[in-house]
Amino acid sequence: MEISERLHRAGYRRSSYVTGLIADRLIDMANVLTPDGLGTLRKLLQAESKPELDAFLLRIRGVGSFVLESFKLLYGWRKNPSSR
């Protein structure tokens, strides 16, 4: 079954373009976050190797500066700018 069809069956109801875009990004993420990729990600997180982590995550289509900043905020590496 195609990823976009699975998304639709799971209740993700967007235009076919957006659903296809999300499906492509999920496939791209899965290709980067293989078992070896997850091992690399864990090592980078443990070492708090931020520049290398950025470079690694930027390999995933759809990940950009906003996603990286959100990730760092959720991971506790950045303070929430709205809580100043």
- Concatenated DSSP letters of 15-58: -HHHHHHHHHHHHHHHHHSSHHHHHHHHHHHHHT-HHHHHHHHT
Res 55: pLDDT? 95
Please answer whether residues 44 and 56 qualify as being in contact, where contact means their C-beta atoms are separated by less than 8 angstroms. Answer: yes
Indicate the average pLDDT of the chain: 88
Query: Could you state, in order of their start, the residue ranges of all structural domains in the chain?
Result: 1-32, 34-84
Q: List pLDDT tens digits, range 45-68.
A: 898 888 999 999 999 999 999 999
Q: What is the DSSP string of 49-71?
A: -HHHHHHHHTTSTT--HHHHHHH
17 pLDDT band, cuts 50/70/90, is very high
pLDDT of residue 80: 63
